[in-house]
Amino acid sequence: MTNRFDKVVTLQEALSHFRDGMTLLAGGFGGVGNPPTLIQGILDLGVRDLILISNDTAFPHIGIGKLVTERRVKKVIASHIGSNPNAGAQMTAGELEVEFCPQGILAERVRAGGVGLGGILSDVGIGTIAEKGKQKVVLDGKEYLLETPLTAEVAIVHAKKADRFGNLVYDTSARNFNPLVAMAGDITIVEADEIVEVGELDPEEIVTPGVFVNYIVQSEGVNWRWAWEK
pLDDT tens, 4-39? 789 999 999 999 999 999 999 999 999 999 999 999
pTM above 0.85, yes or no: yes
pLDDT at 161: 98
Confidence of residue 221 (pLDDT cuts 50, 70, 90): confident
**Burial group, residue 92, by CB count within 10 angstroms (0-12, 13-18, 19+):** exposed
Domain that holds residue 54: 11-117+150-229
Q: Is residue 2 part of a domain?
A: no
What percent of the chain shows pLDDT beyond 90?
A: 90
Q: Is residue 140 part of a domain?
A: no
Could you give the CA distance from residue 36 to residue 38 in angstroms, rounded to a whole number? Answer: 6
Q: Is residue 176 part of a domain?
A: yes
Q: Is residue 131 part of a domain?
A: no
Q: What is the mean pLDDT of the chain?
A: 94
Could you give the CA distance from residue 3 to residue 10 in angstroms, rounded to a whole number? Answer: 16
What is the tens place of the pLDDT at every residue in 81-129? 999 999 999 999 999 999 999 999 999 999 999 999 999 999 999 999 8
Q: Is residue 133 part of a domain?
A: no
Mean pLDDT along residues 187-199: 97
pLDDT exceeds 50 at position 228? no
pLDDT at 2: 53
pLDDT at 1: 40
CATH number for 216: 3.40.1080.10
Q: Which of 108, 97, 103, 185 is nearest to 146 (CA)?
A: 108
Mean pLDDT along residues 212-228: 77
Number of domains in the chain: 1
Q: Is residue 166 part of a domain?
A: yes
Q: Is residue 143 part of a domain?
A: no
Output 165 or 228, whichever has higher pLDDT.
Answer: 165
pLDDT exceeds 90 at position 152? yes
pLDDT exceeds 90 at position 172? yes
Q: Is residue 128 part of a domain?
A: no
What is the tens place of the pLDDT at every residue in 53-84? 999 999 999 999 999 999 999 999 999 999 99
pLDDT at 4: 72
What percent of the chain shows pLDDT beyond 70?
A: 95
pLDDT exceeds 60 at position 224? no
